[in-house]
Amino acid sequence: MELDRIRAWQLFIETSRLGSLALAAEALSFPLPKASRLISSLEDELGFQLLDRTKKPAVLTAEGQALVLDTQGLISQWGILREKADALRKGNFDLSRRSLRISLPVNMDRSVFFEALQNLPIKHPGLQLEFCADVGQQALLEGKADIAWFGYKLEER
Confidence of residue 143 (pLDDT cuts 50, 70, 90): confident
Determine contact, residues 14/24, Cβ cutoff 8 Å: yes
Q: What is the pLDDT of residues 14-33, one digit of tens each?
A: 999 999 999 999 999 999 99
Instruction: State how far Cα 55 lies from the chain centre.
Output: 28
Q: Answer yes or no: is pLDDT of 157 > 70.
A: no
Residue 153 pLDDT: 59
| CA separation for the pair 153, 150 (Å, rounded) | 9
pTM, two decimals, is 0.60
Crossing angle of helices 32-46 and 3-18, rounded to 10°? 110
Which residue did the predictor score with more confidence, 76 or 37? Answer: 37
| CA separation for the pair 20, 48 (Å, rounded) | 19
Mean pLDDT of 37-58: 92
Residue 70 pLDDT: 87
Q: What is the pLDDT of residues 55-104, one digit of tens each?
A: 888 889 999 999 998 898 888 888 878 888 888 888 776 655 577 787 87
Q: Answer yes or no: is pLDDT of 1 > 60.
A: no
3-state secondary structure 54-97: CCCCCEECHHHHHHHHHHHHHHHHHHHHHHHHHHHHHCCCCCCC
Q: How many residues does the chain have?
A: 157
